[in-house]
Amino acid sequence: METTRFERHSSPVDAGFPDEWYGLSSEEHFWFQWRMKAFESLLSGLPVSRDAPLKALEIGCGTGLLRKQIESSTSWVVDGADLNQAALEGNIGAKGRTLLYNILEQKEEFRHKYDIVILFDVIEHIEDTDAFLRAAFMHLKPGGWMFINVPALELLSSKYDVCVGHMRRYDKRSLAREFDSRGLGRVVRLRYWGFLLVPLALARRMVLAFVTGREKVVTTGFNPPHAIWNRLLIHAMSFESALLRSPALGTSVMAAVQG
């Protein structure tokens, strides 16, 4: 299958995001499966059809793993936008357009174009979230839906967060405040996920205190040490998803916001 050709609408930017993280990203990785499972749970009961050919934009799509997951489990067509040219060249097999595009430019051709905007693990990297979120909403149709995922709980901050460029972690209240304080849409649903990962994240913080070098920190902090651990964590995902529909805490928090 040929690599998707991206459309150039802006100049590429080196945002300082570690390239080694992309190398660890795969559909077999427990964390990506868990995040997708949490998204499917978040969608359950919302008036958002998974069977309709809705038009979605994933901002910060990277190599396109999430958009492929979503297109595989819905009838949506997901365009992907990013400023990392090397990551965009790795987008393979998506149905939607692949855009080298800075949303802050708010180009008229994309104004109110999308039924859905997806911001997964993006805004924690953004210093000026006000300008960024206002620009993101410009791309959303009135009444459309924005879905957000961010790392949760400052208690879990570690050297890993520093190395991957996290400026903050959120809880439910602080994530809701990003929208409520600016009158940006209506926060309809907020959920933590990864409750069973909290002890591991605390252990990671302690282990990484003794690890040096960005690449080593990112690899150690994100990649399970053995395939057996990856399988065990996938089983933990299934257990949590079956028993804890809305955990009291988690390593991430996800939101559904209606514009």
The residue assigned the tokens 């252990």 is: 203
What pLDDT band is residue 3 in, cutting at 50, 70 and 90?
very low
When pLDDT is averaged across residues 140-157 and rounded to a whole number, the result is 97
The closest alpha carbon to 164, from 101, 223, 119, belongs to: 223
Tell me how far the alpha carbon of residue 88 is from its chain's centroid.
Answer: 16
CB-based burial, 47-62: b 16+ in 10 Å, e otherwise:
ebeeeeebbbbbbbbb
Residues whose CB is less than 8 angstroms from the CB of residue 102 and which lie 6 or more positions away in sequence, other chains included: 9, 10, 11, 13, 83
Which comes out higher in pLDDT, residue 180 or 21?
180
7 token code pair: 């459309």
| Predicted local confidence at residue 13, as pLDDT | 82
What pLDDT band is residue 91 in, cutting at 50, 70 and 90?
confident
Please report how many Cα atoms fall inside a 13 Å half-sphere around the Cα of residue 66, on the Cβ side.
Answer: 29
**Contact present, 26 and 32 (Cβ < 8 Å):** yes
Q: Which fold has domain 7-153+165-195+245-258?
A: Rossmann fold (3.40.50)
For the chain, the domains span 7-153+165-195+245-258
**Contact present, 109 and 101 (Cβ < 8 Å):** no
The full 3-state SS of 193-225, as one line of letters, equals ECHHHHHHHHHHHHHHCCCCCHHHHHHHHHCCC
Question: Tens digits of per-residue pLDDT, 163-201?
Answer: 999 999 999 999 999 999 899 999 999 999 999 999 999
Say whether pLDDT at 5 is over 80.
Answer: no
Do β-strands 77-82 and 140-151 pair in parallel, antiparallel, or remain unpaired? Answer: unpaired
**Contact present, 84 and 6 (Cβ < 8 Å):** no
Tell me how far the alpha carbon of residue 212 is from its chain's centroid.
Answer: 26
Q: Is the dihedral of CA 149, 150, 153, 159 positive or negative?
A: positive
54 token code pair: 């809705």
What span, in angstroms and rounded, lies between the C-alpha atoms of 222 and 213?
A: 14
| Predicted local confidence at residue 15, as pLDDT | 62
| Predicted local confidence at residue 1, as pLDDT | 40
Question: Tens digits of per-residue pLDDT, 24-64?
Answer: 888 999 999 999 999 999 999 999 999 999 999 999 999 99
**Helix 129-138, helix 172-180: angle, nearest 10:** 60
**Contact present, 254 and 148 (Cβ < 8 Å):** yes
